[in-house]
Structure 1
Amino acid sequence: MKAIQILALTASTIVSANSVGFELTSTDIQEGQKMAKTFEFSGFGCDGENVSPQLTWSNIPAGTKSFAITAYDPDAPTGSGWWHWVSFNIPANIASFERGADLQSMGATELASDYGSIGFGGACPPVGHGMHRYQFTVWALPVEKLDLNDKVSAAIAGYTLNSMAIDTAKLTATYNR
């Protein structure tokens, strides 16, 4: 009996090691690496280009009817982090977009970032505050449209996404000034 259990455990480990789940990649940003100034905000004392990075997601989970994209800095000195990007109702036939993409033209809903502006708001950690993490997440959703409007807070959108996502894929880049 033990030999069968060990064999079954070994077989499942091999399958898990060879299968790739829902994945988020980028030609602009890499896991654990510092982002270029291109992706820095323009304002709040920062003078970057405030351009969103290119993103691609693959191995899309079965049942996905739409996507959401978020970018969040858990290291912001606010007590609640900083929402840099919240976009949802991205059609299921879209699995990538180029640098600086206009997601609203693709049919997506974009919320105001914590800067107060609609759409992507780049990195802008306080000078000397150390390295911050920027968590880019794509959310696979089981509905074509979320029952949210463009006036809800990022916290409500985050709560909704966490309550219903089929799966998520994350890419965490860093930035400091």
Structure 2
Amino acid sequence: MTSLLDPDIEQLGDLSIEAPDFDDGERMPDYVGFVNEDENPELRIENVPKEAESLILICDDPDARGAVGFTYDHWLVWNIDPDIETIPRGWNPSSDEATVGYNDFVQDEYNGPSPPDGTHGYRFKLVALDTELDLEPEARKAVVQLRGLMEGEVLAATQIVGEYDPSQGTAF
């Protein structure tokens, strides 16, 4: 399985993820920030393999290692319907739509960026699996990865990176 713990996901297959409010490697809008509206950006998904049974989405901050000593997880969602084309801004999925796991804020929701030391890059990593994962919502990223390795096969993977610095405002 493509490692969800590694700094970056290597592109596997034609799966793609895009955000209409920022380009890959560019600054995300203020509304994503923890001290602002604290809403995930809209994400558009294309080219999910036909054999996929579920998707996993992770937003993490590898640049947090300098401040806290590890890659900080901001959002963890699994068992997303593979037919989904858009994850809406501010998405709070019902248990029918997906399972939201615990992030490093120890909350089962999206918690946006709030870097203490300048600009950080936040990765939105997307993985297509050939199975659904039977996990409780209290699961963390390492457990999701381990179960994915044991129960399923990664069919496709991709990521997009958005930068954020709370000291730099945007027009959003």
For Structure 1 versus Structure 2, the TM-score category normalised by the shorter chain is 0.7 to 0.9
Classify 1:162/1:95 alpha carbon distance in 2 versus 1 (closer, same or farther; 3 Å). farther
Per the alignment, residue 58 of structure 2 pairs with 70
Note the 1:112-127 alignment, pairs <5 A. Answer: 112-126=102-116
What does the per-residue CA deviation read over 1:52-81, in whole Å, with 9 as the maximum and x for residues that have no partner?
A: 110111111231111111101001122221
| Deviation of 1:94 (Å) | 1.3
Pick closer, same or farther for the CA change 1:53–1:162 going to 2, 3 Å. farther
Q: 1:92 to 1:171 in 2, by over 3 A?
A: same
Change (3 A) 1:167 1:160: farther
Match of 1:31 among 19, 24, 31: 24
Relative contact order: is structure 1 or structure 2 higher (C-alpha 8 Å, sep ≥ 6)? 2
Aligned to 2:139: 152
Unaligned runs of 5+ in 2: 1-12, 167-172
Pairwise CA distance, 1:162: 6.3
Following the alignment from structure 1 to structure 2, what is the Cα–Cα distance between the partners of residues 114 and 140? 23
Is contact 2:124-2:159 (8 Å) kept? yes
- The answer on whether the counterparts of 1:90 and 1:106 sit within 8 Å (CA) in structure 2 is no
CA distance in 2, matches of 1:122, 1:51: 7
Corresponding letter in the other structure for 1:148: L
Q: Is the 8 A contact 1:139 1:161 kept in 2?
A: no
Alignment size in residue pairs: 150
Equivalent residue in structure 2 for 1:168, among 152, 157, 160: 157
Give the 3-state SS of the residue equivalent to 2:77 in structure 1: strand
Residues 135-177 of structure 1 deviation map (CA, whole Å, 9 limit, x = unaligned): 001111101x202111122222244446732111100011123
**Which has the larger Rg?**
1
Aligned-pair distance for 1:106?
4.8
Partner of 1:82: 72
Letter of the aligned partner of 1:175 in structure 2?
Y
Change (3 A) 1:75 1:158: farther
Q: CA RMSD in A?
A: 1.8
Distance 1:75 1:162 in 2: 26
Q: CA deviation at 1:109?
A: 0.5
User: Hey, what's the Cα distance between the residues in 2 that align with 1:158 and 1:174?
Assistant: 25
- 1:17 corresponds to: none
In 2, the alpha carbon distance for the partners of 1:156 and 1:115 equals 17
Q: Residues 24 and 138 of structure 1 are in contact (CA less than 8 Å); yes or no, is this contact kept in structure 2?
A: yes
Contact 2:14/2:156, CA 8 A, preserved across alignment? no
Which 4+ runs in 1 deviate beyond 3 A? 158-164
- How has the CA–CA distance of structure 1 residues 125 and 85 changed in structure 2, closer, same or farther, with 3 Å as cutoff? same
2:41 counterpart (42, 47, 53): 53
